[in-house]
């Protein structure tokens, strides 16, 4: 149990640092006000989750799930930040942007996950 917790902690730390780096990089190029970095991270994280879940099953690497899926990708994706951003947009009177943000994040993440699963099944089967 302790080793699993350490794997989650290590993966989470790495994922959080990666998320921070992506956020900093995107904010240098994106206009402020709309959370483009968080949308991108959520979609990319969901895609990678779709790839890894199939890869780990096909290759018998389920023992890496705490490190990669719970830790790394859990630390990288940002649905708690997503919720805060959506609420903030709504709270600031930008209900249409909040709704667009929610729809793009959720639909994009689900589609990316499905694409990751499809691609992993095609490549790793």
The token duo for 43 is: 């979609």
Q: What is the pTM of this model?
A: 0.82
Which residue, among 48, 43, 44, has the nearest Cα to 104 in the 3D structure? 43
Is 15 among the annotated ligand-binding positions? no
Say whether 45 sits in a helix, a strand or coil.
helix
Q: CA angle 4-56-6, nearest 5°?
A: 15
The token duo for 123 is: 């490549």
Is 74 among the annotated ligand-binding positions? yes
Q: Alpha-carbon distance 69 to 13, whole Å?
A: 13
- 47-93 residue pLDDT tens: 999 999 999 999 999 999 999 999 999 999 988 889 989 999 999 99
In this prediction, residues 114-119 reach a mean pLDDT of 97
């Amino acid at each position: 149990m302790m080793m699993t917790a350490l794997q989650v902690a290590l993966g989470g730390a790495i994922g959080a640092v990666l998320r921070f780096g992506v956020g900093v990089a995107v904010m240098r190029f994106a206009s402020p006000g709309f959370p483009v970095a968080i949308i991108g991270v959520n979609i990319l994280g969901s895609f990678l989750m779709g790839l890894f879940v199939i890869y780990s099953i096909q290759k018998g690497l389920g023992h890496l799930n705490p490190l990669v899926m719970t830790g790394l990708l859990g630390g990288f994706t940002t649905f708690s930040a997503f919720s805060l951003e959506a609420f903030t947009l709504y709270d600031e009177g930008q209900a249409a942007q909040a709704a667009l943000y929610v729809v793009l994040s959720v639909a994009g993440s689900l589609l990316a996950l499905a694409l990751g699963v499809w691609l992993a099944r095609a490549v790793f089967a």
